[in-house]
Amino acid sequence: MPKYLKKEPNSTESQPIQVLEIINYFLHTAYSGFLIVSVQDGYVVKMEKTERFTITAKSRQGSYVKIEKPKEKHPLCVRILTELQDIRYGQLIIRLDNGQVDHLEKTEKRRIHEFEGVDGAGI
């Protein structure tokens, strides 16, 4: 069993190092787009990256392609990991615009068996 699965769900150590690397790389290299991180049982199970490229007169002078691996952690990595730790089931969407984090969107879902109504019926 991998060592990260022995930790409590939603702790920073419980996520595989690849998750942290992908988030950090996306924050450093993407210019516009979003990263959707899906969580089940407190563990990241899927990540979807969508990056947009808009070709304008200004952007033609520069380069969109960044290949190098970032040397340091992005300043918002800690904040993003904190938000990720609060999710048991759901998604965290990181939106970028002009190379900056535009906003974080957290969608948390609950399992039916966690809620009970009249006569034990799920809500």
**What domain range is 69 assigned to?**
3-107
Residue 114 falls within a domain, yes or no? no
Residue 89 falls within a domain, yes or no? yes
pLDDT in tens, 45-93: 999 999 988 787 766 676 666 667 777 888 888 888 888 888 999 999 9
Average pLDDT rounded to a whole number, residues 14-36: 86
Is residue 32 pLDDT above 50, yes or no? yes
Residue 29 falls within a domain, yes or no? yes
Structural contact between residues 115 and 122, judged by C-beta atoms closer than 8 angstroms:
yes
Residue 8 falls within a domain, yes or no? yes
Residue 66 falls within a domain, yes or no? yes
Residue 79 falls within a domain, yes or no? yes
Identify the sign of the CA torsion 62, 65, 70, 73: positive
pLDDT for 66 equals 65
pLDDT for 57 equals 75
Residue 33 falls within a domain, yes or no? yes
Is residue 121 pLDDT above 50, yes or no? yes
Is residue 118 pLDDT above 90, yes or no? no
118/61: higher pLDDT? 61
Residue 69 falls within a domain, yes or no? yes
pLDDT for 119 equals 59
Average pLDDT rounded to a whole number, residues 92-116: 84
What domain count does the chain have? Answer: 1
DSSP the chain: --GGGGSPTTSGGGS-HHHHHHHHHHHHH-SSEEEEEEEETTEEEEEEEEE-----TTGGGS-----SPPSS--TTHHHHHHHHHT-SSEEEEEEEETTEEEEEEEEE---GGG---GGG---
pLDDT for 96 equals 92
